[in-house]
Amino acid sequence: MERPASPQMASSSPDSPCSCDCFVSVPPASAIPAVIFAKNSDRPRDEVQEVVFVPAGTHTPGSRLQCTYIEVEQVSKTHAVILSRPSWLWGAEMGANEHGVCIGNEAVWTKEPVGEGEALLGMDLLRLALERSSSAQEALHVITGLLERYGQGGSCLEDAAPFSYHSTFLLADRTEAWVLETAGRLWAAQRIQEGARNISNQLSIGTDISAQHPELRTHAQAKGWWDGQGAFDFAQIFSLTQQPVRMEAAKARFQAGRELLRQRQGGITAEVMMGILRDKESGICMDSGGFRTTASMVSVLPQDPTQPCVHFLTATPDPSRSVFKPFIFGVGVAQAPQVLSPTFGAQDPVRTLPRFQTQVDRRHTLYRGHQAALGLMERDQDRGQQLQQKQRDLEQEGLEATQGLLAGEWAPPLWELGSLFQAFVKRESQAYA
């Protein structure tokens, strides 16, 4: 894993590789009457991402909830969620809940300094919002409320050298999407009610601000970043004056992603989003130095509330050589054991102080099989092509089944829908065995 040069640099330097890309399509940009969400999670090359199902729960009033570093006050009821997360932390890089809310987050650096202390990670905020909201707008309120109360901070990498950043979020539900961008405890949000939108490790909200922190403008004026008279362009005012190399690379990916969405306006489907996430030329499908795309997700959120939302997750790195497998909330949903990493309890390096002094093997069963498969693809071209064809056939089967479901051509029993992801994970594991 590529390590930041020093703790002083690590806490605030965007030059260290860290990147993600999120996309959303809201009708009429979508080819079907559905909001379509997608994300690539780009993380340290050897970091394992697991897919975790957490059922809905009720909790004792006044109880506390342990997040990655700090405790927060628990709420009385939490929704069922499916999460794709780095296996060492509590939160998630991306996920969805039973009400059709999807969220992805990104790292960003602004003129506001990154806090040195431990607080909520952006990934913790993401999971908390999924567990506590039934719409994208409600999720936005959850995140901004927690941000105001607890702040954001703490190392975002499983590494002894701290590495911290602020967060941006793309939030979507069956009817709309929101972009939420933060600078410390301050924030601005933009509502997306039609068309396509993407975010890539930089502030992107200009003057089209739908909601904001009540002190956003007065703070910018007090700092001398805004004269109080001209147009209030959030990205221009809060972005770093000297953009580091990594931020410039993110700008190129943002522009490439926007163009890929523009080219498919009106015809965007789950497959189109998967194709964008697999685009290596743009850097959206990343494999650069110490970082790569470690997991990917695409969700179809039908506007018709009687239709189920379908979430496709890889649980493995490099979407160009991974299988997007369908998950649907329903009766009989349970954890797929093959995509769950081992746990280490109180001895976990994230729990013992000082943190991250040792390393543990967090690879889950599917990850191990997929690693072997990637090795075979690189060593033996013929067998590798056969294996990649198996991957494509399995993914196509999942796409066709869910398309039939949404078209009313396939009506399986509820228990079969609930176990769909488990079935596909099992078959992928068998293909690698």
Tell me if residue 21 falls in helix, strand or coil: strand
Give the span between the Cα atoms of 66 and 72, in whole angstroms: 7
d(CA 288, CA 247): 14
Asked whether 111 and 183 are in contact (CB, 8 A), the reply is yes
Q: How many CB atoms lie within 10 A of CB 111?
A: 15
Decide if 20 is catalytic. Answer: yes
* Cα separations in angstroms, 324 against 74, 149, 412, 429: 33, 37, 20, 13
Task: Spot the catalytic one: 18, 20, 156, 285.
Answer: 20
Angle, alpha carbons 156-172-27 (nearest 5°): 140
Write a three-state SS string for 101-170: CEEEEEEECECCCCCCCCCECHHHHHHHHHHHCCCHHHHHHHHHHHHHHHCECCCCCCCCCCCCCEEEEE
| β-pairing verdict for 19-26 and 211-212 | unpaired
40/67 Cα distance (integer angstroms): 23
Give one DSSP letter per residue of 59-93, joined into a string.
Answer: --TT-EEE-SSSEEEPPSEE--EEEEEETTSSS-S
Hey, which residues are catalytic here?
20
